[in-house]
Amino acid sequence: MKNFSLGLIVNTYRNPRALDKVLAAIHGGTELPHEVILAEDDEDAATAAVAADWRDRLGCPLVHCSQADKGYRRSRILNLAIARATSDYLVFIDGDCIPGKRFVADHKGLAREGCFVQGRRTFLDEKSVPAFLDGRASARKLFWTGKISGRFKAIRLPVPKIKRNRELHGVLGCNLGLWREDLLAVNGYDESFEGWGAEDSDLAARLYHLGRDRLLVHGRAVLLHLNHPFLPRDDYAANKARLQQTLDSGRIRCEHGVDAHR
């Protein structure tokens, strides 16, 4: 597909200062997306204020989806966002991940029919996050002072390194680009996954069963993750068991997915 629209879905939870930085980076990019959809797993007044502040000046439509905080229900809020999206191609990022200036343009150049794209992240040391959010230290300064780990992933290469495969290792729901019609074909995220873990791998597995490949990309679509304490992982074992059921069954569509919100 030569001409297609690209939307960004930004998953966020109680981190309005980081979200403000994310939206500022999107606004300052070399190319704006067709739309930005905030997928908030909460109904936080400060987050709503950030969304309202950017709505008229972002330069593209901004939609804010939210839901009551009843624990970690990331799959459900992402499905709500997918249901609201109008773009042909959707790129998912987290609300604590700062996209590089060419992020949107890079994803448009990476998109291929029959595939989804998995970009990488670089990581800002948790102790340095306040200085970055306050504007006391730039990403460039933090890069050169060694406060960013995985720094090779922060470099935009002249030619990207792309590996085509159907592996689950390295699947992340952030810096992930997919065709909307493929997401609808597999019924989006499986809302049976509650609590942290494995919901992205389950989505990838069903896309593989659909016949899609993954393009694992280095050197394009640079993204800076602002490190934070680990989330509770009490449900991880149960989610891994659900993932194994998907792998064993070869299923393509999940039962509790985006169709419930369309």
Residue by residue, DSSP assigns 116-171 as EEE---EEE-GGGHHHHHHTSS-HHHHHHTT-EESGGGGS--SS-EEEEE---TT-
At 23-73, the pLDDT tens digits run 999 999 999 999 999 999 999 999 999 999 999 999 999 999 999 999 999
How sure is the predictor about 222, in pLDDT bands with cuts at 50, 70 and 90?
A: very high
The amino acid present at 167, given as its one-letter code, is E
* 230 pLDDT more than 80: no
Q: What are phi and psi of 252, to 5 degrees?
A: -105, -45
- Whole-number pLDDT of residue 1: 63
- Which carries the bigger pLDDT value, residue 13 or residue 138? 13
d(CA 60, CA 36): 7
> Using one digit for the tens of pLDDT, what is the confidence trace for 173-218?
999 999 999 999 999 999 999 999 999 999 999 999 999 999 999 9
Pairwise CA distance, residues 201 & 240, whole Å:
9
**pLDDT tops 90 at residue 146:** no
Using CA atoms, how far apart are residues 149 and 166, in angstroms rounded to an integer? 27
Which pLDDT score is estimated for 244?
A: 97
The H-or-E segment that residue 77 falls in is helix 74-84
Domain definitions of the chain by residue range: 6-261
> CA-to-CA distance for 151 and 116, rounded, in angstroms?
24
Percent residues over pLDDT 70 in the chain: 100
pLDDT confidence band for 118 (50 / 70 / 90)? very high
**Residue 132: pLDDT band with limits 50, 70, 90:** confident
Question: What predicted TM-score, i.e. pTM, was given to this entire model?
Answer: 0.95
The CATH classification number of 6-261 equals 3.90.550.10
Q: Which of 195, 196, 189, 205 is nearest to 243 (CA)?
A: 205
**What's the whole-number average pLDDT of the chain?**
94
Hey, what's the torsion of the CAs at 250, 253, 254, 255, to 10 degrees? -120
